[in-house]
């Protein structure tokens, strides 16, 4: 994370540096993104930059974390189509809103896409960050789903959160393949406004049919053999 010096800056100056950095990393891959260009546009000394951030990696991780927080805030503030929704319709809706965020916040989303599909040398670290940022929120949703009777109480809630997180990350690779999009193109250009949203929604529908109904031909989950594995 940035040094406290960065957060002690006046809000306007801190926002200016952040916006310039977002634009630089959105328009260039990690290797070619230039700290020199950022400080020049922000009209700060290069030495001042290194009082705010240890290096380029720390700045990039800060921007990825910022993108995750902005997306989570966007999801939480979005108005649901119904006053009360069950766990599966609500989670399905969140996936759609997440796509809307990518389209309406292209620069922040582009930074994440470059991390996932590009040549960032610490990709695994970024993927772990993204997963960690959503874990607590998903834990709350799963617990609520159990309490309201939408989720089988015999499941392992930690495994449920892990499964949803893993599927969400996997979709980053599955969707481009299904839409015939070159991942390298996504790294360069991000999500375009003319992307086939209907095809993406169909993928979400298929995914949630499996999540809600399961793969088994039966509708009732058998209880685990050992109660010690059950999360209450």
Q: What is the pLDDT along the chain (232 residues), one digit of tens a residue?
A: 899 999 999 999 999 999 999 999 999 999 999 999 999 999 999 999 999 999 999 999 999 999 988 988 998 888 887 778 899 999 999 999 999 998 899 899 899 888 888 889 998 888 888 888 788 889 999 999 999 999 999 999 999 999 998 898 889 889 989 999 887 788 777 777 788 999 999 999 999 999 988 888 865 544 444 334 434 3
pLDDT of residue 231: 41
Where do the domains of the chain lie, and which CATH numbers do they carry? 61-217+225-229 (1.10.357.10)
Asked if 197 and 204 count as a contact pair (C-beta separation under 8 A), the reply is no
Instruction: List the alpha helices (DSSP H) in the chain.
Output: 4-7, 11-27, 35-42, 46-52, 56-77, 87-104, 106-117, 123-147, 157-179, 183-189, 197-213
pLDDT, residue 60, reads 95
Q: What is the pLDDT of residue 224?
A: 44
Tell me the C-alpha distance between 101 and 95, whole Å. Answer: 10
Cα torsion angle, 54, 56, 61, 66, sign: positive
86 close to 150: Cβ distance less than 8 angstroms: yes
Report the alpha-carbon distance of residue 154 to residue 69 in Å, rounded: 31
The pLDDT score that the predictor gives to residue 218 is 67
pLDDT for 213 equals 87
């Amino acid at each position: 994370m940035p040094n406290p010096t960065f957060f002690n800056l006046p809000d306007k100056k801190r926002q200016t540096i952040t916006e310039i950095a977002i634009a630089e990393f959105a328009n260039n891959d990690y290797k070619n993104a230039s700290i020199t260009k950022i400080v020049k546009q922000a009209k700060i000394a290069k030495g001042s930059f290194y009082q705010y951030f240890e290096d380029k990696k720390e700045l990039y991780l800060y921007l990825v974390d910022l993108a995750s927080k902005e997306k989570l805030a966007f999801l939480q503030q979005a108005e649901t189509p119904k006053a009360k929704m069950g766990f599966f319709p609500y989670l399905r809706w969140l996936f759609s809103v997440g796509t809307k965020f990518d389209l309406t916040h292209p620069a922040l989303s582009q930074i994440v896409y470059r991390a996932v599909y590009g040549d960032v040398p610490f990709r695994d670290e970024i993927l772990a960050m993204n997963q960690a940022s959503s874990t607590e929120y998903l834990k709350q949703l799963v617990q609520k789903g159990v309490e309201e009777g939408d989720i089988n109480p015999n499941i392992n809630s930690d495994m449920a959160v892990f499964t949803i997180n893993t599927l969400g990350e996997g979709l980053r690779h599955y969707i481009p393949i299904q839409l015939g999009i070159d991942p390298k193109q996504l790294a360069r250009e991000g999500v375009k406004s003319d992307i086939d949203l209907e095809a993406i929604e169909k993928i979400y529908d298929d995914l949630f049919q499996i999540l809600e109904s399961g793969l088994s031909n039966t509708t009732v989950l058998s209880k685990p053999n050992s109660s010690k594995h059950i999360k209450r």
